[in-house]
């Protein structure tokens, strides 16, 4: 197995790095310098014509593209500790929170920091509307889906993206989210 990740801690590769750290997995990594255009070489494009990372190349040459399929594949091989649930209900809860955090937090935060003017302002308003919903979802829980999971990793990536330019702050009224964020930043995997 060989995992292709970026050298600059882009959000999706970072999500996989945190997952690996939580699982204590040591998978060989080939770093791809996106700024130098290494993802556009013929060799890399033969593996992923979409020119993105991460990708996981299996020993038989099969290439898995995108973070969620990579993590699901690894979860099947290395189920402990479980990060995608242990039964149909817990897996569904993890996946639903992961999707809400990807679409509702991470993608919105990305629009906010990568855009300017009205687009950025609109994304900020949407994010400020969605984060109270996440705060409410954390009421009485340490982690989004009950146990620590890939949903928490995705939310962390979303909040880190929102904080990218240093102009975003969590509303103090979001006490559950602030508590969760402090606990997440304290995990050793958060620096992966």
Residue 150 lies in a domain: yes
In the prediction, which pLDDT does 9 show?
75
pLDDT at 27: 96
CATH of the domain at 51: 3.40.30.10
Q: Check residue 192 and give its pLDDT.
A: 78
- Helix boundaries (H) for 78-174: 88-100, 107-114, 117-137, 150-162
Q: Residue 46 CB: number of other CB atoms within 10 A?
A: 9
> 48 with 111, same domain?
no
Are 161 and 116 in a shared domain? yes
Whether residues 12 and 100 fall in one domain: no
Task: Give dist(CA 73, CA 56) in Å, integer.
Answer: 10
**Per-residue pLDDT at 166:** 77
Write out the chain's pLDDT in tens, 192 residues: 999 999 777 899 999 999 999 999 999 999 999 889 999 999 999 999 999 999 999 999 999 999 999 999 999 999 999 999 999 999 999 999 999 999 999 999 999 999 999 999 999 999 999 999 999 999 999 999 999 999 999 999 999 999 987 778 999 999 999 999 999 999 999 987
**Do residues 102 and 170 both lie within one domain?**
yes
Choose one of 27, 57, 77: the last residue of a domain.
77
- Residue 83 placed within a domain: no
pLDDT of residue 67: 95
Shared domain check, 68 and 14 = yes
Cβ atoms of 35 and 8 within 8 Å: the answer is yes
Looking at residue 134, what is its pLDDT? 97
Are residues 39 and 59 both part of a single domain?
yes
pLDDT of amino acid 22: 97
58, part of any domain:
yes
Which residues lie closer than 8 Å to 10 by C-beta, 6 or more apart? 34, 53
Please give the residue range of the domain that contains residue 58.
2-77
Q: Is the dihedral of CA 120, 124, 129, 135 positive or negative?
A: positive
CA distance from start to end of the chain? 20
Number of independent structural domains in the chain: 2
């Amino acid at each position: 197995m060989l995992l292709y990740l970026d050298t600059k801690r882009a959000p999706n590769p970072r999500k996989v790095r945190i997952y690996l750290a939580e699982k204590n997995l040591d998978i060989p990594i080939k770093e791809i310098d996106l700024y130098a255009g290494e993802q556009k070489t013929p060799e890399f494009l033969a593996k992923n014509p979409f020119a993105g990372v991460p990708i996981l190349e299996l020993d038989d040459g099969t290439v898995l593209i995108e973070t969620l399929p990579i993590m699901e594949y690894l979860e099947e091989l290395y189920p402990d500790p479980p990060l995608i649930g242990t039964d149909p209900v817990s897996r569904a809860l993890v996946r639903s929170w992961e999707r809400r955090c990807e679409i509702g937090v991470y993608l919105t935060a990305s629009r906010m920091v990568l855009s300017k003017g009205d687009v950025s302002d609109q994304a900020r308003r949407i994010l400020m509307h969605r984060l109270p919903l996440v705060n409410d979802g954390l009421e009485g829980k340490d982690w989004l889906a009950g146990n620590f999971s890939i949903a928490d990793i995705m939310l962390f990536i979303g909040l880190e993206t929102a904080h990218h330019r240093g102009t975003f702050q969590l509303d103090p009224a979001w006490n559950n989210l602030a508590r969760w964020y402090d606990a997440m930043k304290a995990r050793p995997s958060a620096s992966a």
